[in-house]
Amino acid sequence: MSALLQLSGVSVAIGKAHLLEGIDLALDRGQILGLVGESGSGKSLTAMAAMGLLPLIGGRVTAGEVRFDGTDLSTLGEAGRRHLRGRRIGFVTQNPMTALDPVQRIGAQIDVVSRLHLGLDKAAARARTLDLMAQLRIPEAAAVAEAWPHQLSGGMKQRIVIAMALAGDPDLIIADEPTTALDVTVQAQILQILAGLVRDRGLALMLITHDMGVVAQLCDRVAVLYAGRLAEERAVGPIFAAPAHPYTRALTLCIPREGMARGSLHGIPGAVPSAAAYPAGCRFHPRCARADATCRATVPALSALPDGGLVACHHAEPGAP
Protein backbone atom coordinates (compact mmCIF):
# COMPACT_ATOMS: atom_id res chain seq x y z
CA MET A 1 0.00 0.00 0.00
CA SER A 2 1.37 3.44 -0.87
CA ALA A 3 2.06 6.08 1.78
CA LEU A 4 -0.23 9.11 2.30
CA LEU A 5 2.41 11.31 0.67
CA GLN A 6 4.88 9.75 -1.72
CA LEU A 7 7.56 11.53 -3.75
CA SER A 8 9.23 9.16 -6.21
CA GLY A 9 12.33 10.37 -8.05
CA VAL A 10 11.04 13.95 -8.10
CA SER A 11 13.11 16.55 -9.95
CA VAL A 12 12.06 20.21 -10.05
CA ALA A 13 13.14 23.14 -12.19
CA ILE A 14 12.30 26.83 -12.18
CA GLY A 15 13.08 28.25 -15.60
CA LYS A 16 16.45 26.81 -16.59
CA ALA A 17 17.57 26.20 -13.00
CA HIS A 18 17.34 22.54 -11.98
CA LEU A 19 16.85 22.84 -8.26
CA LEU A 20 15.77 19.40 -7.03
CA GLU A 21 16.90 16.06 -8.39
CA GLY A 22 15.58 12.55 -7.74
CA ILE A 23 13.89 13.14 -4.37
CA ASP A 24 12.36 9.99 -2.81
CA LEU A 25 10.20 10.47 0.30
CA ALA A 26 7.27 8.76 1.95
CA LEU A 27 5.11 9.91 4.85
CA ASP A 28 2.15 8.19 6.47
CA ARG A 29 -0.58 9.12 8.95
CA GLY A 30 0.63 9.23 12.55
CA GLN A 31 4.22 9.94 11.45
CA ILE A 32 6.48 12.98 11.70
CA LEU A 33 9.03 13.36 8.94
CA GLY A 34 11.78 15.93 9.50
CA LEU A 35 13.12 17.58 6.36
CA VAL A 36 16.54 18.96 7.23
CA GLY A 37 19.48 20.69 5.60
CA GLU A 38 21.05 24.14 5.47
CA SER A 39 19.46 27.07 3.62
CA GLY A 40 19.54 26.37 -0.12
CA SER A 41 19.30 22.60 0.31
CA GLY A 42 15.81 22.42 -1.23
CA LYS A 43 13.61 21.82 1.83
CA SER A 44 10.96 24.45 1.10
CA LEU A 45 10.89 23.59 -2.60
CA THR A 46 10.27 19.93 -1.71
CA ALA A 47 7.33 21.06 0.44
CA MET A 48 5.97 23.20 -2.41
CA ALA A 49 6.18 20.20 -4.75
CA ALA A 50 4.29 18.12 -2.17
CA MET A 51 1.52 20.75 -2.03
CA GLY A 52 1.26 21.19 -5.79
CA LEU A 53 2.35 24.82 -5.44
CA LEU A 54 5.15 24.80 -8.02
CA PRO A 55 3.12 26.38 -10.87
CA LEU A 56 2.51 29.45 -8.66
CA ILE A 57 6.27 30.16 -8.54
CA GLY A 58 6.93 29.23 -12.17
CA GLY A 59 8.27 25.81 -11.18
CA ARG A 60 7.56 22.37 -12.63
CA VAL A 61 8.22 18.73 -11.91
CA THR A 62 10.61 17.58 -14.66
CA ALA A 63 10.86 13.92 -13.59
CA GLY A 64 9.21 11.54 -11.13
CA GLU A 65 5.83 11.97 -9.49
CA VAL A 66 4.18 13.33 -6.35
CA ARG A 67 1.28 11.23 -5.06
CA PHE A 68 -1.09 12.24 -2.28
CA ASP A 69 -3.36 9.44 -1.04
CA GLY A 70 -2.74 7.61 -4.31
CA THR A 71 -3.51 10.58 -6.61
CA ASP A 72 -0.78 11.81 -8.93
CA LEU A 73 -0.79 15.60 -8.43
CA SER A 74 0.11 16.18 -12.09
CA THR A 75 -3.34 14.84 -13.06
CA LEU A 76 -5.10 17.58 -11.06
CA GLY A 77 -5.92 21.04 -12.40
CA GLU A 78 -5.32 24.15 -10.27
CA ALA A 79 -8.82 23.88 -8.73
CA GLY A 80 -8.13 20.29 -7.67
CA ARG A 81 -4.77 21.21 -6.20
CA ARG A 82 -6.31 24.19 -4.35
CA HIS A 83 -8.95 21.92 -2.84
CA LEU A 84 -6.25 19.44 -1.82
CA ARG A 85 -4.27 22.19 -0.08
CA GLY A 86 -7.08 23.57 2.01
CA ARG A 87 -9.00 20.36 2.67
CA ARG A 88 -6.41 17.56 2.83
CA ILE A 89 -3.12 19.41 3.42
CA GLY A 90 -2.71 22.22 5.95
CA PHE A 91 0.28 24.56 5.84
CA VAL A 92 1.98 26.36 8.73
CA THR A 93 4.40 29.08 7.67
CA GLN A 94 7.58 30.33 9.25
CA ASN A 95 6.24 33.83 9.81
CA PRO A 96 2.62 33.92 11.03
CA MET A 97 2.24 37.57 9.99
CA THR A 98 2.49 36.59 6.31
CA ALA A 99 -0.32 34.04 6.79
CA LEU A 100 -2.71 36.39 8.60
CA ASP A 101 -4.66 39.20 6.99
CA PRO A 102 -3.93 42.28 9.14
CA VAL A 103 -7.34 43.84 8.42
CA GLN A 104 -9.52 40.83 9.27
CA ARG A 105 -10.47 39.69 12.75
CA ILE A 106 -8.88 36.41 13.87
CA GLY A 107 -12.07 34.35 14.11
CA ALA A 108 -13.22 35.29 10.61
CA GLN A 109 -9.89 34.14 9.16
CA ILE A 110 -10.30 30.68 10.69
CA ASP A 111 -14.06 30.48 9.92
CA VAL A 112 -13.50 30.98 6.21
CA VAL A 113 -11.43 27.80 5.88
CA SER A 114 -14.14 25.48 7.23
CA ARG A 115 -16.88 27.36 5.36
CA LEU A 116 -14.99 26.95 2.10
CA HIS A 117 -13.65 23.43 2.49
CA LEU A 118 -16.22 21.73 4.76
CA GLY A 119 -19.28 23.69 3.57
CA LEU A 120 -20.21 24.78 7.12
CA ASP A 121 -22.66 27.65 7.68
CA LYS A 122 -21.60 30.75 9.63
CA ALA A 123 -22.65 29.50 13.07
CA ALA A 124 -21.20 26.00 12.64
CA ALA A 125 -17.93 27.44 11.29
CA ARG A 126 -17.61 29.74 14.32
CA ALA A 127 -18.35 26.87 16.70
CA ARG A 128 -15.63 24.82 14.98
CA THR A 129 -13.21 27.78 15.18
CA LEU A 130 -13.75 28.18 18.94
CA ASP A 131 -13.39 24.43 19.46
CA LEU A 132 -10.09 24.38 17.53
CA MET A 133 -8.81 27.39 19.47
CA ALA A 134 -9.62 25.63 22.75
CA GLN A 135 -7.82 22.48 21.55
CA LEU A 136 -4.78 24.62 20.81
CA ARG A 137 -4.95 25.95 24.38
CA ILE A 138 -5.79 29.50 23.37
CA PRO A 139 -7.28 31.14 26.48
CA GLU A 140 -10.48 33.20 26.19
CA ALA A 141 -11.04 31.93 22.66
CA ALA A 142 -14.23 33.96 22.07
CA ALA A 143 -12.42 37.22 22.89
CA VAL A 144 -9.36 36.29 20.82
CA ALA A 145 -11.64 35.48 17.86
CA GLU A 146 -12.76 39.14 17.89
CA ALA A 147 -9.16 40.47 18.08
CA TRP A 148 -7.01 41.80 15.23
CA PRO A 149 -3.72 40.06 14.40
CA HIS A 150 -1.57 42.95 15.65
CA GLN A 151 -3.09 42.56 19.13
CA LEU A 152 -1.64 39.05 19.58
CA SER A 153 1.84 37.85 20.58
CA GLY A 154 4.00 35.91 18.09
CA GLY A 155 3.27 32.58 19.78
CA MET A 156 -0.48 33.25 19.81
CA LYS A 157 -0.41 34.22 16.13
CA GLN A 158 1.34 30.94 15.31
CA ARG A 159 -1.39 29.01 17.19
CA ILE A 160 -3.96 30.84 15.06
CA VAL A 161 -2.09 29.81 11.90
CA ILE A 162 -2.15 26.19 13.15
CA ALA A 163 -5.91 26.52 13.79
CA MET A 164 -6.34 27.77 10.19
CA ALA A 165 -4.30 24.81 8.92
CA LEU A 166 -6.54 22.43 10.90
CA ALA A 167 -9.87 24.04 10.05
CA GLY A 168 -10.29 22.10 6.80
CA ASP A 169 -9.76 18.82 8.73
CA PRO A 170 -6.59 17.86 6.84
CA ASP A 171 -4.69 14.54 6.86
CA LEU A 172 -1.28 16.16 6.47
CA ILE A 173 0.27 19.29 7.97
CA ILE A 174 3.36 20.77 6.39
CA ALA A 175 5.14 23.13 8.78
CA ASP A 176 8.01 25.20 7.33
CA GLU A 177 10.34 26.30 10.14
CA PRO A 178 7.25 26.98 12.31
CA THR A 179 9.14 28.24 15.35
CA THR A 180 11.97 30.27 13.82
CA ALA A 181 10.33 33.62 14.57
CA LEU A 182 9.49 32.71 18.19
CA ASP A 183 11.41 32.79 21.47
CA VAL A 184 12.68 29.53 22.97
CA THR A 185 9.88 28.89 25.50
CA VAL A 186 7.16 29.54 22.93
CA GLN A 187 9.02 27.37 20.40
CA ALA A 188 8.74 24.39 22.76
CA GLN A 189 4.98 25.00 23.24
CA ILE A 190 4.30 25.17 19.50
CA LEU A 191 6.32 22.00 18.82
CA GLN A 192 4.43 20.19 21.59
CA ILE A 193 1.14 21.27 20.02
CA LEU A 194 2.21 19.94 16.60
CA ALA A 195 3.42 16.63 18.06
CA GLY A 196 0.14 16.33 20.01
CA LEU A 197 -1.87 16.70 16.78
CA VAL A 198 -0.02 13.74 15.28
CA ARG A 199 -0.50 11.66 18.43
CA ASP A 200 -4.15 12.55 19.11
CA ARG A 201 -5.56 12.98 15.59
CA GLY A 202 -3.33 10.60 13.64
CA LEU A 203 -2.21 13.42 11.31
CA ALA A 204 0.93 13.16 9.22
CA LEU A 205 3.39 16.02 9.83
CA MET A 206 6.19 17.15 7.57
CA LEU A 207 8.42 19.37 9.69
CA ILE A 208 10.92 21.49 7.78
CA THR A 209 13.74 22.62 10.00
CA HIS A 210 17.47 23.26 10.14
CA ASP A 211 17.47 22.34 13.83
CA MET A 212 18.66 18.75 14.37
CA GLY A 213 17.86 19.08 18.09
CA VAL A 214 14.16 19.54 17.23
CA VAL A 215 14.35 16.58 14.85
CA ALA A 216 15.85 14.34 17.55
CA GLN A 217 13.02 15.25 19.94
CA LEU A 218 10.03 15.01 17.63
CA CYS A 219 10.54 13.11 14.40
CA ASP A 220 10.04 9.46 13.45
CA ARG A 221 11.97 9.70 10.19
CA VAL A 222 14.44 12.20 8.80
CA ALA A 223 15.23 13.19 5.22
CA VAL A 224 18.52 15.07 4.86
CA LEU A 225 18.77 17.24 1.76
CA TYR A 226 21.92 18.75 0.35
CA ALA A 227 22.08 21.06 -2.69
CA GLY A 228 18.80 19.75 -4.12
CA ARG A 229 19.51 16.05 -3.64
CA LEU A 230 18.59 13.54 -0.95
CA ALA A 231 21.70 12.66 1.07
CA GLU A 232 20.12 10.26 3.57
CA GLU A 233 16.63 9.17 4.66
CA ARG A 234 16.17 7.00 7.77
CA ALA A 235 14.40 6.45 11.05
CA VAL A 236 15.46 8.99 13.67
CA GLY A 237 17.17 6.48 16.02
CA PRO A 238 19.74 5.13 13.57
CA ILE A 239 20.35 8.48 11.90
CA PHE A 240 21.61 9.94 15.18
CA ALA A 241 23.27 6.74 16.48
CA ALA A 242 25.18 6.02 13.27
CA PRO A 243 24.75 8.54 10.46
CA ALA A 244 25.76 6.92 7.17
CA HIS A 245 26.37 10.12 5.15
CA PRO A 246 29.21 12.53 6.03
CA TYR A 247 26.83 15.50 5.71
CA THR A 248 24.34 13.97 8.15
CA ARG A 249 27.22 13.24 10.53
CA ALA A 250 28.34 16.88 10.26
CA LEU A 251 24.79 18.12 10.98
CA THR A 252 24.49 15.91 14.08
CA LEU A 253 27.80 17.33 15.37
CA CYS A 254 26.30 20.84 15.12
CA ILE A 255 23.75 20.12 17.88
CA PRO A 256 24.63 21.96 21.10
CA ARG A 257 24.68 19.54 24.05
CA GLU A 258 24.39 20.12 27.78
CA GLY A 259 27.79 20.55 29.43
CA MET A 260 29.52 21.24 26.10
CA ALA A 261 32.64 23.38 26.53
CA ARG A 262 32.51 26.88 25.08
CA GLY A 263 33.94 26.90 21.55
CA SER A 264 33.57 23.12 21.09
CA LEU A 265 30.48 23.37 18.88
CA HIS A 266 31.26 22.06 15.39
CA GLY A 267 30.38 24.01 12.26
CA ILE A 268 30.48 22.74 8.68
CA PRO A 269 33.18 24.57 6.71
CA GLY A 270 32.08 26.22 3.45
CA ALA A 271 28.52 26.80 2.24
CA VAL A 272 25.84 25.08 0.15
CA PRO A 273 26.59 25.94 -3.50
CA SER A 274 24.01 27.82 -5.54
CA ALA A 275 22.17 25.90 -8.27
CA ALA A 276 24.19 27.80 -10.88
CA ALA A 277 27.43 26.46 -9.42
CA TYR A 278 26.68 22.87 -8.41
CA PRO A 279 29.95 20.93 -8.58
CA ALA A 280 30.26 17.73 -10.64
CA GLY A 281 29.98 14.34 -8.95
CA CYS A 282 28.83 14.47 -5.35
CA ARG A 283 27.70 18.02 -4.63
CA PHE A 284 29.04 17.77 -1.08
CA HIS A 285 32.60 16.92 -2.19
CA PRO A 286 34.14 20.42 -1.77
CA ARG A 287 33.18 20.27 1.93
CA CYS A 288 33.76 16.58 2.62
CA ALA A 289 36.89 15.27 4.34
CA ARG A 290 36.39 11.85 2.71
CA ALA A 291 36.11 13.10 -0.87
CA ASP A 292 38.26 11.34 -3.47
CA ALA A 293 38.49 11.24 -7.28
CA THR A 294 35.36 9.07 -7.56
CA CYS A 295 33.37 11.58 -5.48
CA ARG A 296 34.54 14.46 -7.68
CA ALA A 297 33.56 12.72 -10.91
CA THR A 298 30.57 10.47 -10.25
CA VAL A 299 27.15 11.24 -8.76
CA PRO A 300 26.52 8.80 -5.89
CA ALA A 301 23.28 6.85 -6.40
CA LEU A 302 20.80 6.31 -3.57
CA SER A 303 21.29 2.87 -2.08
CA ALA A 304 19.34 0.96 0.55
CA LEU A 305 20.71 0.51 4.08
CA PRO A 306 20.07 -2.65 6.13
CA ASP A 307 17.60 -0.76 8.38
CA GLY A 308 15.41 0.29 5.44
CA GLY A 309 16.95 3.75 5.05
CA LEU A 310 18.55 5.31 1.98
CA VAL A 311 21.92 6.96 1.52
CA ALA A 312 23.71 8.59 -1.42
CA CYS A 313 27.46 8.37 -0.80
CA HIS A 314 30.35 6.44 -2.39
CA HIS A 315 31.89 5.89 1.03
CA ALA A 316 28.86 5.65 3.30
CA GLU A 317 29.32 4.19 6.75
CA PRO A 318 27.44 0.88 7.07
CA GLY A 319 24.83 2.80 9.04
CA ALA A 320 24.16 0.16 11.69
CA PRO A 321 23.68 1.67 15.15
Residues of the shown chain interacting with ligand SF4 in the complex, contacts defined by CB under 6 A: 245-246, 282, 284-285, 288, 290-291, 295, 300, 313-315
Least distance to ligand SF4, CB of residue 252, Å = 14
Total residues found in the chain within this entry: 321
Is residue 83 within 8 A of residue 117, CB to CB? The reply is yes
Taking the C-alpha atoms of residue 225 and residue 243, their distance in angstroms, rounded to an integer, is 14
Phi, psi of 194 (to 5 degrees): -65, -45
Measured CA to CA, the distance from residue 150 to residue 229 in angstroms comes to 39
The CA–CA distances, whole Å, from 12 to 62, 222, 225, 310 equal: 6, 21, 14, 20
Tell me, letter by letter, the H, E, C secondary structure of the chain. CCCCEEEEEEEEEECCEEEEEEEEEEECCCCEEEEECCCCCCHHHHHHHHCCCHHHHCEEEEEEEEEECCEEHHHCCHHHHHHHHHHHEEEECCCHHHHCCCCCCHHHHHHHHHHHHHCCCHHHHHHHHHHHHHHCCCCCHHHHHCCCHHHCCHHHHHHHHHHHHHCCCCCEEEEECCCCCCCHHHHHHHHHHHHHHHHHHCCEEEEEECCHHHHHHHCCEEEEEECCEEEEEEEHHHHHHCCCCHHHHHHHHCCCCCCCCCCCCCCCCCCCCCHHHCCCCCCCHHHCCCCCHHHHHCCCCCEECCCCCEECCCCCCCCCC
